[in-house]
Amino acid sequence: MKSIRGRKVKLRPQDIRTKEFSKKLFGYDPDEVEAFLIEVANAYQELLKEIEALRVKTPEYKTEKLIEKAKKEIEKII
């Protein structure tokens, strides 16, 4: 499961796209529900991408990457 800032995303776009509902007499039109779920999943996926793009621009992220790089360099030396 994908994580954002160390938090696991509980609902993935794929979960929305593949969600199935039980059918009842006089219920919603399954094709309309499926089309809407796909639209919601696509919008959600775009938001997750935007969040990730913004996250990598933060000073905290850049600091984390510098620390990781420094640790790898130290391990090479050791």
Put simply, whether the predicted model's pTM sits higher than 0.85 gets the answer no
Beta bridge partners of 4: 7
More reliable by pLDDT, 18 or 8: 18
The per-residue pLDDT for range 13-65, each reduced to its tens digit, is: 999 999 988 888 888 888 999 999 999 999 999 999 999 999 899 999 899 99
Which phi and psi (to 5°) does residue 64 adopt?
-55, -45
State the pLDDT at residue 3. 62
| pLDDT of 74 above 80 | yes
